[in-house]
Structures are given as C-alpha cells and as structure tokens.
Structure 1
Amino acid sequence: RGYDIDHGTDINITVDGMPVNMVSHAHGQGYADLHFLIPETVEKVGFDKGPYNASKGNLATAAYVEFTTKEFLDHNSLKMEAGQFNTQRVVGLFKILNKQTEKNRHQFYLASEYSHTDGYFKSPQNFHRFNMMGKYNAWFGNQSQLSIIASVLDSRWDASGQVPDRAVRTGMISRFGAIDDTEGGNTGRANITIKYNRQWKNNWKTTDQVYYSRYHFNLYSNFTFFFADPIRGDQINQREGRDIFGYTTTAAKSYVLGTKKATTEFGAGFRSDNIKDISLSHSEKREFLDNIQKGDIKESNGFAYVNHDMELSNRFHLNAGLRYDHFTFGYKDQLAGAIGFSKQTRGTLSPKINISYAPNQKIKFYFNNGIGFHSNDTRVILGSGARDILPKVFGTDLGVIAKPSRNLVIKMALWHLFSEQEFVYVGDAGIVEPGGKTRRAGIDVSARYQFAKWLFGDVDINFTRARAIGEPKGEDYVPLAPSFTSIGGVTAKFKKSFSGSLRYRFIDDRPANETYAVTAKGYLITDAVLSFQWEKWEFRTSVENIFNSKWREAQFDTESRLQLEPAPVTEIHYTPGTPRFLKAGISLTF
C-alpha cells in the first residue's frame, strides 16, 4: 500500500498476542524483529490491510499481521537443511507431555532451531542464530484453557553493509564487496506469555493475557563512510537494552437482537517499555570513539476499546469500533547530565466502521473506514519538542469479493490513506525521522484459482500513487514508496508424494528521493520449491532466484564520501539481493 515497511514503522505485528514491534527503538521507530519465531511452529497467520480493526492500536496503519503458534504437536519431527554459502539449519519439535483425563487435558512441547550461514558476500557474514520455544496448554473441561509460552533468541552476525553504486560501477568493489566489512552486531530476546481463556454462561467469553520480554540490541553500521570523519570513518553503533511488560483483557458476549446475531467485545490493557542506555555513538572497527546520543526511556501505552459486530439483515453486516490510547513518554538525557526524566503525555481516539453487503453467496461488497496512528519516537518528542506526537492515519477501502465459479475467488479494492506525518528512514544516521503529510491511493487485485484437484494458482497485484502534501508538483514524491508490486505462483500437491511451487516477486522502479531524480530499481525474482514424502521421511529442495537476477534489496539515496574522494557524492546505496541460492533438506517425523 505504498509503504516501504523496511523497519516495521507502519505494520503492527504480534505473535500469540505479544507485540513484536519496538517503540522508540535504537534503529528506528516500530522496529520489528521476528527471528525469535520458529517458522515450523506457526499454526496460522492472520492479517488485514488498513486501520480498521479496533483491537489493533499503535503502528497498525498500513496493515497488521498476527502469528499464532501451534497449540500441540501430532508427532515429533527433526529437520536438517544445508545449502550454498556454507548454510546449515537444524530444527526439532518434540512432544514432552500429552496427558488426558476424563475432564482435563495437558500438553507441552519444545521447539529448537539453530541456523548458520556465511552469506553470499565477499566477507563471510558468519551469521549464527539459536532459538528455543516451549508451549504448555491445559484444557479444563470445555470451559477454560491456560497457555504458557516461553521463547528465547540469541543471534550474532558480521555484515558488509550497503554499497555505493559508484564503487561497483568503477570496479572498486564487486556487488558483494564492502567499503566497511566490520559492520554487524548481536541481538537477543527472551519472552514469556501467559494466557487464560474462559467460556462463561450466557455466552460470555473472556481472555486475560500477560507477557514479559527482555531484549537487547547492538548494531554497527556505516552508511556515509568518510563523510563526517575523513580520518577514522563514519561507523556508528546503535545499542539498547529493554524490558517490556504488558497485559490485555477482553470480554465478548454473543447474543441475538431480534432475529439477528450480534457480538460485542470490550478490551483494555497496557504496555510498558523500560529502555536503558539507548545510544547512538561514533565507532571505528567496532571500537567506541565518542557518544552522539545516550539516555534512558520510559514509555507506556494504556488502551481500551469496544468492538460491535452484528447482522443488520440477511445481506448487510456491520462492524463498528472505538479505541482510545493514552501514552506517557519519558526521557533522561545522560549526555546533558539530566537527573530525572522529562515527560509528555498524549491520548488519541480511533473510530472504525466496516459495512458489507452480500446480495448472494457469490459476491460481497464492503466499505471500510477508520482512523489509526503511529506514535513518534520518545527522543524526538522530548528532544526537539515535536508537536505531532501521535500522528493519525485516515483510511478508506471500497471493495468486492467475488466467487464467479467454484474454483475461482477474486478480490478487488480501491483504497485511500492520508497520514498526518510520514516517518522517513534516514540512512546516514540509521534512524527514523518525522516528515510531512502524505496521501496514498491505489487499487489491490487478487485472485485464487484451482486448476485441478492437485494444482492451484494465485496472484496479487497492487497499484499505488503516493504523494507528499503541500510540496510543489514534481517535488512531492514519497521516497521509496512502491507504485506497482505483484506476487504470485502455482502450487502442486499430490497425495502422499510430490508437492512443489513456482513463485515470483515483482516490484517496479520507484523514486528514491522527493524529485524522482534518483531511481530505486525494481526487480523480478522467481523461486521454486520441490518436496517428496515417503512414509515418515520428507526430502525437500528449494532454489531462490532461479534465473540469478541481479537485484537490489534495501536501497537509499545517501550522501557519502569514499576515502580519498575530494567531495561527497549523493547517489543510490544498496544491499545486493540474494543470487541463485540452492538449498536441500531432509526431515523425519516420529
């Protein structure tokens, strides 16, 4: 929807109800790191576009995504994978407890993952990641369920960073080379979530959830090379450690109004982030030189919402919601010698309304309208006196879902988003800064078709026009906002034997700056997966970027200076995308 959501600023992500996004993060507002989630443990993924869900608050502007892990395992499994670039991965899922009595049931499983790769860069990436997760579920009759989930992530890596286009063009380095190959870092996250669901009499259902996360982040980057410091270079270190604590409670009642079904849900909760020693410093080859910014942050978000869902008639359906969020921002500037925290508070109201009309079982029209928001960084709010503390995003969707035949489903939507303040990722500082007002409008088209019992196809196409408001024509482009994107593919599934897929990813050229004088090049990438299942064994192979296309992943228009260059140059700096990458794996269930 016209957002380059490289760091998570405008997409709200949760895992089992626990937030993934990091507010006021050292590397950018809303930073989302999902690496603590083991893919094999995911049961389902829920998502929707736009700010139309009252249960979703901060950062749920372009969309939200919610991952739900498996409640239990049917069997144990062990998977081993290996591939090019010295890549290895091992995943194990193990049933530890499966006890059932006449009224109660108890289940517990463990999952663990280890990954390593040197990557496709000239300097080895030396990437290591270790994950472990445990999930306990207890069902007490048919009325209640208790879930306890704990997980841990530890990861470290080296990086070659973004490369300036001129250095590759002149042959100074290759696409997979580096100006500063001492970039990299480490991160870790430990989580625990306790959730209790209860079904009461009179069709009341309640959910209470409490979660805690301990997180640390340490990243070395060099975006401008020798621009600010021609002698020692411009490498920066972004670092933080935080504790996150939160609680959410919901109560929903299903009932009948006249002859029509209705459900009303009430929700409330809070989230508290206590961030210690969040800093931006100047470094050389990972050695500390001097502090640029350092302090402590205390940020809390309390919220309450009501969501009402009902049938207006046999054809009309209404969903209406109202949400209130209240924030307290606190910052203590250690470099200024502050003794206490400077504070600011602000609240925002977010109404939503969604109406659908289904004249028959083959077609449904819908209209969504709502207001969302994304909070500003605490350091920006209290350091520079920003007025737009909780800038709103106003969204509207008008769409149709049609099933013209038994094998075909088509969805189309016209949409519009107005943002009171854009957040722009600044490559030379590695942070997100507030920008101006923007307007986005576009059309989304998707189709799903079943060619045969074993063959399926899907395609998604998205067109967007994104512009800054109040800027002269030709100078109003939103940097890196995609104008045309598409994904799709075909999937084949044969019973108890072969399965495979062939898929593509496409993004068109897009402006890298406000005047479109610099272009972030698009790409078309094709991937394939083939697997064969025999009794308890599965053999799998995959190829990313089948045609070995040269493409650019992250791209930014950055002003930098190479060593011995007489003056800085502004141009595209990019991270090269994955070349052809072959990987194979074997798994055993038992």
Structure 2
Amino acid sequence: MMAPGQTGSHVEGKVVDAKGNVVPRAMVELSPEHGHRRLAVTDSTGRFEFSRMLPGSYVLAVSAPSFQALSKTVKVTDAGSTFEIEMVPALSRKESVVVTADVNALDLLSPDPAEKVFVKQDLIDANPGRPGAPVSVPGYPIETASSGIKAPQYFAPGVAGDHGEPIAQFIAVGSYLLPNNLSANAHGNGYADPNLLIPSMIESVQVDGGAFNVREGNHAVNVAATYGLRSRVDPFASLTGDYRDIDLVAGMSPAAKSSVVVELSFGNGFLRRLEHRQQYKLNAQRTFDPGRHEITVLGIAYWGKSYIPGLTPVFADDTRDVGLLNYGDTIDPRQRDQTHTALVSANDVWRLSATQELQVSGFFRTYNLTLYSNFGDGLIRQSEFRTVAGQSTSYANKFSDALSVLAGLDWEREAPRRDNLDHYDDYTGQFVYGPFTKVDSSDVTITSVTPYGAVAGGLGSHFRYYGGWRRDQIDITNVDRINAGDSYQKWVGVNSPKATASFVPGDLRLLPLVSASFGEAFFTDDPRIALGSGAGSSVARSHNYQLVVSKTAAATDFKLTLGHVTTSSELAKIDPDTGLQEDQGPGRLEFLTAAVRQSFTGGSVLVTFSKADARDVQLGEPVPEAPRTIFDVLASLQRLPFGLQARGEFEFVGRKTLGTGCLPDVNAQCLGTAVKEFRGAVARPFLGERLNLGVNFLVAGGHTGQTLESFGGSDFAEVVGVRIPYYASVNVTWKFGGRAIQ
C-alpha cells in the first residue's frame, strides 16, 4: 500500500504507426495483476498518460481503428515509465474472425485458468449460421430450437445445461458480474437467455470453471460464461437476409466511452413451420470518469415473439404411436413463445489508491415469458412475470506481490409472480387453444445475502495461490395460489470454499503452467410443488476438482484440462407434462479436454476435443442428454485471393444417451443421433472498406434438443428433436465516415 503522501508513479507514452506517424484516438488499457483496468485515449499528438500507478507488472493493451490490437506485459518503475507503441495496420477492417486466448492471470478476479473469445466489431453476425445464439464458444455446444426467440440450450462436456441450471451466465458491467440466470423459471430452473444481447455489442466472452471463484455464485457449478460489452462502436448499419428472414442492426458511440446498438429482426426461420418472428433489441452502455471514480451504466431492452416448431420424432414413426401427425416439422402448430425484458445496471469503481479500490454495483430487471409447447402429452403453457434486483459491494487491496485481499457483500432478490403451468388438449386440426387445466400457479421469492472473501498472491517467482469462501444465506418462499397447504418458507445456508494453487514457469521456459483447483458450488432448486406430495430439495450442491496443464511451444498453445465433479441428489424441477418434481442424482462427472491453438500470419486455428462420462452414482446409468464427445475446429483466414476473408467452424457432438424406454429393448439406453455442423462466413470490403459484403452459411446434419417423449398415448419412448436445416444468408454492412467518439 502506498505510504501517506506518496503520489505513485507516472506512466506516459506515445502511439505511432510503422512510419512514425502519430495515432490519435487510440484506446490504451493498463491492467494490473488484480483490480480494475485503467483506460486512456491518445490525444491529437498520439500521447497518453496515467498517474498514481503502483510500481510493478502490468498488461498494456492498445487498440485503434484500422490497426491490429496490441497487448504486452510492461514494467512500471518507481521513477515512472515511458513507452512508445508502434501499431501494425490491420489486414482489413472486415475481419470475420473470432480470436481465442487463454486467460492465465490467476489473480483475485480470475483465479483459475479460463478461455476467452474476442469478437471483432466488424463481425456483425458473431455466430454465423446459428440464429438465437449471440456468439460461439469453441468446445461448448449451443442448441437452438428456433431462430432466436426461445433461449438456446448450453452444453459442456458431460453437462446437460437445461437452459443454464448448472451453467452460470454473467454480463460484465465495468467489473461487476451481473447475473443472467433466472431461478425457478416457468420453463426451466436457472433459465439463462442471452438473446437480450446484440452480437455486435459483444466484445468478448470468458469461460471458466465456475466453481472456483468466490464472485460467481448461484448456478456456477460446471461452467461460468461472462459476456464483456463494447465501450465504443464505430458507426455502422448492417442488413442480413435471405428469402425468409431479414435482420437490421445499427450502432454508434454518441459520446466518449459509450455505445448504442439496436436490432430489428423479422422472419420465418428455415423449417417448414413458419415462425412469423419479430424481435426488437436495444443495448446501450456509457462510462464516466469523475475524479477517482469510473462509473459504468448499462441499459437493455428486448421484446420478441414467434411460433416455434417444437420437438418431432427423429426416427421413423412407430406403429404403436396411434394418432401422431407431423404438420411439417411440428406436431402442434400452436406452439409459440413470447418474451420481453428490461434491465438497468450500474457499477462504480472508486480507486482509493494505487493499491486499493472499492466497488459499488447494482441492477434492476423485469422479465416476462409465455411459452406454449407440446412434448407429446398435449399442449402446455408455461408463463411468469418477475422482477429481479441486486446490489454488490466489494473492496480489494494489494498489500504486496505476496498478498492481495478481496472482501464483498452481495444481495439479490428474485420474485417471479404467477409462475404458472397449464395443460391444454392435443392439436386436432383446429387452430384454437380452448379450455385448459391449471396445474400450478405460484408466487416465488428467492432472496440471498452473501458475504465473501478471498486472498491471493505469489510465493516466489513461480508459485501462486488463491483461497476464498462465500456464505449464501438464502430465504426461499413459495406461495401456492391453488393449494394454500403447499405454501412454505425456508431459510437455507450454503458454504462454498474455493482454492487454487498454480505453478507459473516464467523464465523456466521448458516447463508448463500447472494449476489445480478445488471448489464447492450450488444452484437453487425450483421451490414449487405443483402435483407433488411435498417440498423438494432447496439447493443442489457440488464438489469440483480441476487440473489444468498448458504450454506454449513454437508459437503453438497446448492445453489439457481434467475435471471431476460430484453432485448431490435433488427432488425439484417440475416436469411440464406430469406436473411432478423430477428425482435427480447423486451424480459424478469426469471429463478431459485437450486444446491446440496455432496462430500464423493472416489467420489462426483452434482444435478442441473433449471426452466425458457423467453418471448417476446410485443407478450407475449415464446422465441423460449429457454430451460425451465434443470435437471442434475453429479457423480464420484473412488473406484469401481477391481480398476475401473467411471464418469457419466445424462442430461434432457424439450420440448422447437419453434414458430408457425405447423399442426394441425398453431396458437399454436410447441413443440419439450425432450432430455435425459446419458454419462459416466469407466477406470482402469495397469502397475503401466502407462497404462490406458477406455470406453466412450452415451445413449441418442431426437434430438439436434431443430428448425422449411419448406420443399418442404410447407406453414407449421415442427420440425427439428439432431438425437442423441447411441455409445461407447475405450480409451488407456500411461503415459511416466517422469513428467512435473518443
């Protein structure tokens, strides 16, 4: 900590191009080993400066339009430091690539090794060929059941994330982790919908182990994904369309450190069941720098509706499924989804000194869902309206390289109202919804108060440690609007210790980085009883172990991750057909993931392979719907003939076990089909790179959302899913003459 009266070191520099010409309005970031990054913008002479910096190691990152981003580690001395940064021209401002990198800071904010995907602003469709999912993260498949209204389902090796239950999602507001999971959702416990984000607003997505960071709480069991948003956007307008869909996106920076992006989307999707989709989105962010404060404000609004195809049999119809009709990629054309949400959040980082900072954050959100689905036993309606509010305060202090301390207090309240489940009749050829049977209607309130703390530091030059503890004190209230006798209130406490020990090779270049982590985690169960006989479990808990070994050799990154997760048994999560709570676990997951990344002039390639085994430890049977084999190849090429650039990704997910009950052997595991997808984008700039023309495409085989259902009163289960179609779309982007205001 700085002594009284000490002003800290002064850092200044100049950004130039290869010819020595100054680069004005370049964004310069200086990031310490822990704490919040400092931002500056070069003036008309290309100069920048930072004051009150503590001597030590920092990551200096510089970005500017028309130049390749640069990042390197620098030393700040007691006497101050001066740097001259030479920028390299970008190969093109239309870079249809997603660049990935390992995050090995291993500090208070990122204690375990993570993977980060950086999204270029010029890649307007951040995930070509995958409507409804804002960005693709290699090795973590996303399955969408429609063209963007119904939330995508996320998977990790051995993890069937039913809309996010054991997979946490956060939106970074400054350095605040704004939770995106919605507990006790009408459709799926822990429902996490990234559709509220516009792809061109996303700057990066960071994925870590979830269970090893005290800042990541409810639902951060197997994976935690954090979306980072852009602090500035060069003004643009983009139109993407095909013979059935059209999508318009526009964005700009109306002031320094601000970004506003809007999206309008209409269409019918690519299946025979026309969707009549409408979507309207607004994402806006602004950062202010009054004195020692850095205040970030985020606002999001989203409204969407469409018909959805739903699940249909994957294999040939069985003769015993009497009365089953397929009306063109759907068994019930009444299936539809309507969602709207509004969100505002703020984060204030107060730099008390060069080593200390205090953060105060908060958010408020409204959310509505009305979803009609048919899973084989007639149409159901799942609906709710909720408000969510949260507040967070944290303090961080770096006493020395050997000791940094983090302490915080979080509060969050989720209040879904009229959390309903209703049953309708089967579709008989008449497009009417008719009378329904009310199965459940509840007012749920889940309130948590969470103190947490962590310490981190280095022991010598090669060893780093992290240890933390969080205590979630959770009040769960269920008010049953149908059966008052099923109303109840519970007060539950969950302790979650975390620890990571790492060996960092540094100057020992022949040795790899090795990081071992342990953590306990949890997610809240759905407290509704519906047609069950009593309250189920309040929380599901896990014990997580992870070992990561990574090495860079000959400009190639190698990474191996081994994981072992055990989960408790739980009686929760209402089955929409039966209205009963599902009995799950206890479970065990073991997985291995290997990744190889090669960067070269004009492109990069990332290959990821995962193998997993997830089982119910009592029955010894595989966990249904959990992927056992995932293979992914992501490549980008920026120097193709005729000025073209391209990005392509091939993803393979092996056949998943889905449970029992299928013919010819009802006791054997039912297997789904493998899913193979090749999606890509090809683009070319014109008119001095102000106009960009591109094509997005998807070549695929298989079905998304594979599970088991019974039809027409049959006693036997069938494999069902949503067919993945082939298609291509055209993109036209116009870059306006100005740049983002600095």
- The two structures have a TM-score, normalised by structure 1, of 0.89
The residue type paired with residue 471 of structure 2 is Y
Question: Does the 8 Å contact 2:439/2:530 carry over to 1?
Answer: no
Deviation at 1:187, TM superposition (A): 0.6
The residue type paired with residue 553 of structure 1 is T
List per-residue Cα deviations over 1:433-467 (Å, max 9, x = no partner).
341201111211011012x3112111111111111
Match of 1:93 in 2: 251
1:32 correspondence with 2:183: no
Match of 1:346 in 2: 492
The residue type paired with residue 706 of structure 2 is Q
Match of 1:420 in 2: 568
SS of the residue 1:40 aligns to: helix
Match of 2:624 in 1: 479
Deviation at 1:425, TM superposition (A): 8.2
CA distance, structure 2, for counterparts of residue 438 and residue 283 of structure 1: 34
SS of the residue 1:125 aligns to: coil
List per-residue Cα deviations over 1:334-354 (Å, max 9, x = no partner).
11256x962111011000110
Deviation at 1:147, TM superposition (A): 1.6
List per-residue Cα deviations over 1:144-200 (Å, max 9, x = no partner).
111221111000010221112466578986695222111012010000111111111
CA distance, structure 2, for counterparts of residue 486 and residue 206 of structure 1: 42
CA distance, structure 2, for counterparts of residue 311 and residue 382 of structure 1: 54
Select which of 119, 138, 160 maps to 1:4: 160
Question: Does the 8 Å contact 1:161/1:183 carry over to 2?
Answer: yes
Pair 6,295 (structure 1): closer, same or farther in 2 beyond 3 Å: closer
1:270 correspondence with 2:418: no
SS of the residue 1:335 aligns to: coil
SS of the residue 1:520 aligns to: coil
List per-residue Cα deviations over 1:377-430 (Å, max 9, x = no partner).
12149975446322211111122101122x200000221010013677846359
CA distance, structure 1, for counterparts of residue 703 and residue 328 of structure 2: 11
Pair 431,140 (structure 1): closer, same or farther in 2 beyond 3 Å: farther
List per-residue Cα deviations over 1:36-78 (Å, max 9, x = no partner).
10110112212202411111011101110111211223x2111
The residue type paired with residue 276 of structure 1 is R
Question: Does the 8 Å contact 2:421/2:440 carry over to 1?
Answer: yes
List per-residue Cα deviations over 1:241-296 (Å, max 9, x = no partner).
0010100111111121xxx3432111211110122111101235434422111121
The residue type paired with residue 729 of structure 2 is K
Aligned pairs for 1:215-294 within 5 A: 215-225=367-377, 234-256=378-400, 260-284=401-425, 285-294=432-441
Match of 1:448 in 2: 597
The residue type paired with residue 541 of structure 2 is K
CA distance, structure 1, for counterparts of residue 389 and residue 380 of structure 2: 29
Match of 1:228 in 2: none
Question: Does the 8 Å contact 2:230/2:259 carry over to 1?
Answer: no
Q: Which structure has greater strand proportion? A: 1
Q: Which moved more, 1:369-378 or 1:493-502?
A: 493-502
Deviation at 1:431, TM superposition (A): 8.7
The residue type paired with residue 267 of structure 2 is T
The residue type paired with residue 582 of structure 2 is E
CA distance, structure 2, for counterparts of residue 156 and residue 377 of structure 1: 25
SS of the residue 2:701 aligns to: coil
Pair 180,92 (structure 1): closer, same or farther in 2 beyond 3 Å: same
List per-residue Cα deviations over 1:488-541 (Å, max 9, x = no partner).
122112499532122101111121105653111112211121111232122111
CA distance, structure 1, for counterparts of residue 581 and residue 727 of structure 2: 32
Question: Does the 8 Å contact 1:220/1:286 carry over to 2?
Answer: no
Question: Does the 8 Å contact 2:266/2:278 carry over to 1?
Answer: yes
1:551 correspondence with 2:702: yes
Question: Does the 8 Å contact 1:330/1:343 carry over to 2?
Answer: yes
CA distance, structure 1, for counterparts of residue 574 and residue 601 of structure 2: 46
The residue type paired with residue 492 of structure 2 is R
Match of 1:489 in 2: 634
1:540 correspondence with 2:694: yes
1:508 correspondence with 2:654: yes
Is there any run of 5+ residues in structure 2 with no aligned partner, and where? 1-156, 426-431, 661-666, 737-742
List per-residue Cα deviations over 1:225-250 (Å, max 9, x = no partner).
4xxxxxxxx21111100010100111
CA distance, structure 2, for counterparts of residue 31 and residue 317 of structure 1: 35
CA distance, structure 2, for counterparts of residue 391 and residue 305 of structure 1: 20
CA distance, structure 1, for counterparts of residue 721 and residue 580 of structure 2: 17
Pair 487,425 (structure 1): closer, same or farther in 2 beyond 3 Å: farther
Question: Does the 8 Å contact 2:162/2:188 carry over to 1?
Answer: no
SS of the residue 1:374 aligns to: strand
Identity of aligned residues (%): 18
Aligned pairs for 1:183-202 within 5 A: 183-201=335-353
Match of 2:239 in 1: 80
CA distance, structure 2, for counterparts of residue 269 and residue 521 of structure 1: 43
Pair 384,267 (structure 1): closer, same or farther in 2 beyond 3 Å: farther
List per-residue Cα deviations over 1:349-383 (Å, max 9, x = no partner).
00011011134245211111111111111214997
Count of equivalent residues: 554
Question: Does the 8 Å contact 1:486/1:505 carry over to 2?
Answer: yes
Question: Does the 8 Å contact 1:253/1:263 carry over to 2?
Answer: yes
Pair 169,384 (structure 1): closer, same or farther in 2 beyond 3 Å: closer
Question: Does the 8 Å contact 1:509/1:522 carry over to 2?
Answer: yes
Pair 165,456 (structure 1): closer, same or farther in 2 beyond 3 Å: closer
Match of 2:30 in 1: none
Aligned pairs for 1:78-157 within 5 A: 78-84=237-243, 86-98=244-256, 107-141=257-291, 143-157=292-306
Select which of 290, 300, 305 maps to 2:452: 305
The residue type paired with residue 131 of structure 1 is K
Pair 152,558 (structure 1): closer, same or farther in 2 beyond 3 Å: same
Deviation at 1:95, TM superposition (A): 2.3
Is there any run of 5+ residues in structure 1 with no aligned partner, and where? 99-106, 226-233
Question: Does the 8 Å contact 2:677/2:701 carry over to 1?
Answer: no
Question: Does the 8 Å contact 1:183/1:286 carry over to 2?
Answer: no
Question: Does the 8 Å contact 2:237/2:249 carry over to 1?
Answer: yes
The residue type paired with residue 123 of structure 1 is R
CA distance, structure 2, for counterparts of residue 280 and residue 69 of structure 1: 35
Pair 458,484 (structure 1): closer, same or farther in 2 beyond 3 Å: same
List per-residue Cα deviations over 1:303-348 (Å, max 9, x = no partner).
111121100121111011111101111111111256x962111011
Deviation at 1:94, TM superposition (A): 2.1
Question: Does the 8 Å contact 1:160/1:182 carry over to 2?
Answer: no
1:62 correspondence with 2:231: no
Match of 1:391 in 2: 540
CA distance, structure 1, for counterparts of residue 553 and residue 573 of structure 2: 42
SS of the residue 1:378 aligns to: coil
Match of 2:78 in 1: none
SS of the residue 2:200 aligns to: helix
Deviation at 1:19, TM superposition (A): 1.4
CA distance, structure 2, for counterparts of residue 220 and residue 501 of structure 1: 36
Question: Does the 8 Å contact 1:90/1:115 carry over to 2?
Answer: yes
Select which of 505, 510, 514 maps to 1:365: 514
Question: Does the 8 Å contact 2:158/2:628 carry over to 1?
Answer: yes
- The two structures have a TM-score, normalised by structure 2, of 0.71
CA distance, structure 1, for counterparts of residue 403 and residue 581 of structure 2: 42
Match of 1:229 in 2: none
Q: CA RMSD in A?
A: 2.5
Match of 1:470 in 2: 618
Question: Does the 8 Å contact 1:428/1:559 carry over to 2?
Answer: no
Deviation at 1:544, TM superposition (A): 0.8
Question: Does the 8 Å contact 1:561/1:568 carry over to 2?
Answer: no
CA distance, structure 2, for counterparts of residue 429 and residue 40 of structure 1: 41
SS of the residue 1:61 aligns to: coil
